[in-house]
Amino acid sequence: MTVVDFHARLTPGDAEPAGLLDALDEAGIDRAVVCAGGLLPLDRLAAQITDGGRAEVSADNDGVRRACARSGGRLLPFYFADPERDVEAYAKKAFDFRGLEISPAVHGGRLDDPAVSELAAIAEAAGHPVYLVTVSRPGARPADLLALAARFPRVTFVWGHCGHHGLDVSGLGTIAARPNIVAELSGCLTVTARLAVSRLGSHRVLFGTEYPLQDPGVELRKIAALDLDPSDRQAVLGANACRLLREEMSWTP
């Protein structure tokens, strides 16, 4: 069974990508989608998720791309874009990456901002999925993601963590109306993961780990606890990710 982690991060420093690759090997995960991490101290990030705010921080997207190039094809880079500053840069470099991340928690803003639409249009041209975690503030809630996805029906939007907390089952009901929104499970409760599969269908659900903040083995045990039938389990663990990323299911390092 091919296993693809659709959400891991590379933090600055000499420990990566070796640390992530070791974690994937230990857990039995074949490949991972990676984005820049460590942009904010965790206390600051948690405060912004709760209270709002914007951090003037830039992701080391080029560093992520170089690290992925050294991974023998196991790590697939996503571009982490600040809508206020990175539209032009993403447009120039989009084809060096496999997808896009936008984070209202880190960079603030609203999903109806014209700059977000510009980023989505670039992602559409590049064939990129867009990873996005909604928050509780107006302009960046599941309903706002729904509206953005309606404006870009040919873009697949990945609803990260099934929302910004582990039990956003109302958000599942909101996004269900748009078939071009899929749910990524890292960090959510088992009950939320089970409801994601039942309400959206296994073809709209992705496995992820949120490495290094979460142990990949914990997320794999959560999938095991769902007791899915083999075809649904394969869809969630790898087949859906391979389809979105245009990757072959079988892979040999």
CA pair distance 17, 97, nearest whole angstrom: 17
Please give the tally of structural domains in the chain.
1
Owning domain of residue 116: 4-245
Residues 116 and 102: beta-carbon distance below 8 Å: yes
Containing 120, the helix (H) or strand (E) segment is: helix 114-126
**28 belongs to a structural domain:** yes
pLDDT digits (tens, 9 = 90+) for 194-218: 999 999 999 999 999 999 999 999 9
Query: pTM of the full predicted structure?
Result: 0.96
User: What CATH code is carried by the domain that includes residue 223?
Assistant: 3.20.20.140
**250 belongs to a structural domain:** no
Residue carrying structure tokens 């709760």: 50
**252 belongs to a structural domain:** no
Q: What percent of the chain has pLDDT over 70?
A: 98
CA pair distance 148, 116, nearest whole angstrom: 9
Residue 114 has pLDDT above 80, yes or no: yes
Residues 251 and 30: beta-carbon distance below 8 Å: yes
Q: Which value, to the nearest 10 degrees, does the dihedral of the CA atoms of residues 65, 71, 76, 82 take?
A: -30
Tokens standing for residue 54: 């914007």
